[in-house]
Amino acid sequence: MSATPTVDRFAFGKNWQSFAAIADEESISEAQRGLVKLFPNGELRGARILDVGCGSGLSMVAALRLGASHVHGIDIDPNSIKAASELLTRFDVGKSWSVETATLFDLPPQSCDIVYSWGVLHHTGAMWPALERVTTFVRPGGLLAVAIYRRSPACGFWQKEKRFYSSAPPPVRLFIRSLYKTAYLSAITASGRNPFDYVFNYHHRTRGMSFHHDIHDWLGGYPYESASPEEMVGFMTNHGFSLERSFQRPAAVKGLFGSHCDEYVARSDAKAPA
């Protein structure tokens, strides 16, 4: 995360620590596939990358495996920084990485080849200012990659649910998770898919993530904002970026079970100083 903490902010770091403990080579391989989808032309090789809201550090490991020259991860949650540091150390990806507990808005000026922030800025409590801030860290001609929740008719409900869940005691959270999983997997079954196969192979569709950790993250991810593709493309254009590729997916059943992240990769149109 990357913003000033709020009272009801979800403890993302503890969830990332739990996930990092079970992450394995297959998780990293899936994370690499996710990055190659975003950067299919070898843009990661030799790149200096800033990972805003680095979470478990999984994407940092994947980027280094794909040839990044240096990856710096920041996160507002000290537990995320612990998780990332332990994961990067455990998978022995060399010394070309660094992590720090820092807020996006207090980060000093810098110029990076790639600024990457997957599923983070909509949890800052100030999504549009956060998006404006990350654009300033991209060097002229560099790339910005962000993933933002797609707006749906149910976003108002989910904002209230997430705020409640974030401050609820553990037994109440467990009850909500159990209820949500039952409804979600029942819907999977009703669609003709195998719910056991869906959970077992979940990481293949979600950048190496874990079904159970993602459910906890979704239900508790507060603060929460979202955006339409039109808003995101307009933002990129207005801030001097050209959209190179995007991966958009509308929320199923009008967001009844939640929303997906739309992914955007845009290039800075600014010219490097002569």
Task: Tell me the C-alpha distance between 226 and 258, whole Å.
Answer: 11
Instruction: List, edge to edge, every strand of the sheet that includes 241-247.
Output: 97-101, 70-75, 48-52, 112-118, 138-149, 261-268, 241-247
Query: Whole-model pTM?
Result: 0.89
For residue 230, the enclosing domain spans 1-274
Give the bridge partners for 243, in sequence order: 266
**How many domains are there within the chain?**
1
CATH, residue 104: 3.40.50.150
Do residues 199 and 185 touch, judged by C-beta distance below 8 A?
yes
Helix (H) or strand (E) holding 229: helix 229-238
Full pLDDT tens readout for the chain, 274 residues: 434 444 467 888 888 898 888 888 989 999 999 999 999 999 999 999 999 999 999 999 999 999 999 999 999 999 999 999 999 999 978 889 999 999 999 999 999 999 999 999 999 999 999 999 999 999 999 999 999 999 999 999 999 999 999 999 999 999 999 999 999 899 889 989 888 888 887 765 666 677 888 898 899 999 999 999 999 999 999 999 999 999 998 887 788 888 889 999 999 997 766 5
Give the bridge partners for 264, in sequence order: 146, 246
Task: Tell me the C-alpha distance between 62 and 59, whole Å.
Answer: 5
Q: What letter would DSSP give residue 252? A: G
